[in-house]
Amino acid sequence: MELIYILIGIAVGLVAGFSFLNSQLQKERKIAQEEIERVREETLGQVETLRKEALILAKEEVLEERKSLEEELQRKRKELQNFESRILRREEMLERKLEQVEKTENLLRRRQEELEKEKEVVESIKAREVEELSRIANLSWEEARQELLERVEKTLDYEVGVKIKEAEERAKREAGKMAQEVVAQTIQRYAADFTVENTVSVVNLPNDEMKGRIIGREGRNIRTFEMITGVDLIIDDTPEAVLISSFDPIRREVARLALEKLIVDGRIHPARIEELVDKAKLQVEEKIIQEGEQALFDAGVKNVNSELVKLLGKLYFRTSYGQNVLQHSKEVAYFASLMASELGVDTTLAKRAGLLHDIGKALDHEVEGPHAKIGAELASRYGEKKEVVHAIEAHHGEVEAQTVEAVLVQAADAISASRPGARRESLESYIKRLEKLEKIADGFEGVEKSYAIQAGREIRIMVKPDRIDDARAAKLAYDIARKIEKELEYPGQIKITVIRETRTVEYAK
């Protein structure tokens, strides 16, 4: 009889609990519905207010525009563009608020569905317990004992599962600690200075008289030099020195070598400038091959295709956030091999993949796509193993890493990039802006070459004289200026200079 009373008490408790839970569910549903209505009303009120404000602002702008004179057409156009951008931002803000309201409604709807499902589960549990109580009431002592043993066994299974999960979590923590120790030891074993990339080179002069010879009669020498090399020569009051300014380090190096040869030679005129610039370009190409071979020697990597050696040498003249890409590649190779040795995996493979992981940056300004994918295609084309190709492709997480070496290259890349002083955000954004400036100009028909100079404050555009006449040159400058205003963000103003030059050559025999 006591057992029956106990069971009856349990049943009563369950029924009372279910009633309490059902009431709570009803309260939560009502609160959720009230919250939805309140948020919707507030949002609609804000939307209406913002729309009225936008209309008022629009009317004020229109009245101001009508008062302006015809000669201020350019200023009107710019103000109208600014106004339109503000309206677009306001509309985007309203759209975001509406999206938030929709998300809230969806969340509350899902919550309501979950509560309905929970209610169904509670109902099913209640039905099962009622059936169980009915069944237990008719069990014998032996049957009740067997039932108890089965329930104890289920409880023990749950506790064993909990213990297994705790063991797995403990193993993960220990593995993470071990990984941190490996990375820390790797960083401690590496010591290297870091340098800051500049966009200006200084060429010393034997005397200040040389400045006049570099400028030439009516500036013809300096114009020829700047047009051919694509750099900006800064000749100021600095005694016995000329500054070469360019965001492209290869152009700057070619210009530096050519100018030094001109100073030594002493014959400074347009034809001699062209000749020595061509020689400087060949010298820089040799420098690229030397740097690639030296990087392979320093890293201890052998049997690399000659085309990959050239591409690797080009990284000597590339920077990423102010960090020299070739130096970064050698660091990644070293870090990856150190971690591979700590973990007992293939150090040669890790080192090779680390050295070549950014090879795609040598061509990412010429080929569309992420540099990891470009690098993987290059490595595959020039005979690298599939493990190396995979590590290159996966080093930025665009492809899931399938090997330990690929994961090590990812970690080494992050270590090299994040160590103190390794990178500088401002230089990279500055270079990207100048590259974008030249790309905009090069996209117009009839443009032969363009150069961004004066730290991006001026762009000089050489056009094909047989395709662009004087009238079209003026129209081209106007069109480029408008496109730069539309697509590029920049401080101050940018000067667009279109140069149309016709050369006639004849030989006396």
Q: Report the C-alpha gap between 208 and 444 in whole angstroms.
A: 40
Provide the pLDDT confidence category of residue 195 given band limits of 50, 70 and 90. Answer: very low
Say what percent of the chain tops pLDDT 90: 2
Q: Both 392 and 278 in a single domain?
A: no
Report the candidate in 196, 195, 281, 205 with the shortest Cα–Cα distance to residue 243: 205
**Which two tokens mark 376?**
């993987």
Q: Both 417 and 453 in a single domain?
A: no
Query: Could you say which of 423, 456, 487 is where a domain stops?
Result: 423
Q: What is the pLDDT of residues 279-338, one digit of tens each?
A: 999 998 898 889 889 888 888 888 888 888 888 888 888 877 667 888 888 888 888 888
CB–CB of 405/350 below 8 Å?
A: yes
Provide the pLDDT confidence category of residue 194 given band limits of 50, 70 and 90. Answer: very low
Beta bridge pairs of residue 241: 204
Residue 147 is predicted with a pLDDT of 66
The CATH number of the domain holding residue 475 is 3.30.300.20
Residue 398 domain flag: yes
Provide the pLDDT confidence category of residue 493 given band limits of 50, 70 and 90. Answer: confident
Q: Both 334 and 374 in a single domain?
A: yes
The CATH number of the domain holding residue 374 is 1.10.3210.10
Residue 145 domain flag: no
What's the domain range around 334? 300-423
Residue 46 is predicted with a pLDDT of 83
Residue 193 is predicted with a pLDDT of 43
For residue 183, pLDDT over 70 is answered with no
pTM for the predicted model, two decimal places: 0.47
Higher pLDDT, residue 119 or 393:
393
SS3 410: helix
Contacts of 94 (CB under 8 A, 6+ apart): 47, 50, 51
The CATH number of the domain holding residue 269 is 3.30.1370.10
Q: What's the mean pLDDT in 426-447?
A: 80
Beta bridge pairs of residue 160: none
Q: Both 438 and 415 in a single domain?
A: no
HEC states along 291-353? HHHHHHHHHCCCCCCHHHHHHHHHHHHCEECCEEHHHHHHHHHHHHHHHHHHHCCCHHHHHHH
Residue 153 domain flag: no
Q: Both 19 and 122 in a single domain?
A: yes
Residue 184 is predicted with a pLDDT of 47
Q: Report the C-alpha gap between 357 and 311 in whole angstroms.
A: 12
* Burial category of 308 from C-beta neighbours within 10 Å (exposed 0-12, middle 13-18, buried 19 and up): buried
For residue 260, pLDDT over 70 is answered with yes
Residue 178 is predicted with a pLDDT of 56
Q: What's the mean pLDDT in 32-37?
A: 81
For residue 461, pLDDT over 60 is answered with yes
Residue 450 domain flag: yes
The pLDDT mean for the chain works out to 79
Q: Both 102 and 7 in a single domain?
A: yes
Residue 509 domain flag: no
Query: Could you say which of 138, 169, 189 is where a domain stops?
Result: 138
Q: What is the pLDDT of residues 166-175, one digit of tens each?
A: 656 665 565 5
Say what percent of the chain tops pLDDT 70: 78
Residue 172 is predicted with a pLDDT of 58
Q: What is the pLDDT of residues 476-488, one digit of tens each?
A: 888 899 898 888 8
- Residue type at 376 in one-letter notation: A
Q: Both 12 and 103 in a single domain?
A: yes
Residue 174 domain flag: no
Query: Could you say which of 368, 394, 423 is where a domain stops?
Result: 423
Q: Both 89 and 39 in a single domain?
A: yes
For residue 11, pLDDT over 80 is answered with no
Residue 181 is predicted with a pLDDT of 54
Q: What's the mean pLDDT in 73-81?
A: 81
Residue 425 is predicted with a pLDDT of 43
Q: Both 415 and 492 in a single domain?
A: no
Q: Both 409 and 431 in a single domain?
A: no
Q: What is the DSSP letter of 71?
A: G
Provide the pLDDT confidence category of residue 247 given band limits of 50, 70 and 90. Answer: confident
Residue whose entry in the numeric block shows the structure tokens 């002083």: 421
Q: What is the pLDDT of residues 132-143, one digit of tens each?
A: 655 655 656 666
Q: Both 413 and 433 in a single domain?
A: no
Higher pLDDT, residue 24 or 490:
24
Provide the pLDDT confidence category of residue 420 given band limits of 50, 70 and 90. Answer: very low
Residue 73 is predicted with a pLDDT of 78
Count the domains in the chain.
Answer: 4
Residue 86 is predicted with a pLDDT of 85
Instruction: List the single range of 18-22, 320-324, 343-347, 470-474 with lowest mean pLDDT.
Output: 320-324
Residue 99 is predicted with a pLDDT of 84
| Count of C-beta atoms within a 10 Å radius of residue 167 | 10
Residue 369 domain flag: yes
For residue 428, pLDDT over 70 is answered with no
Residue 293 domain flag: no
Q: Report the C-alpha gap between 347 and 344 in whole angstroms.
A: 8
Q: Both 414 and 473 in a single domain?
A: no
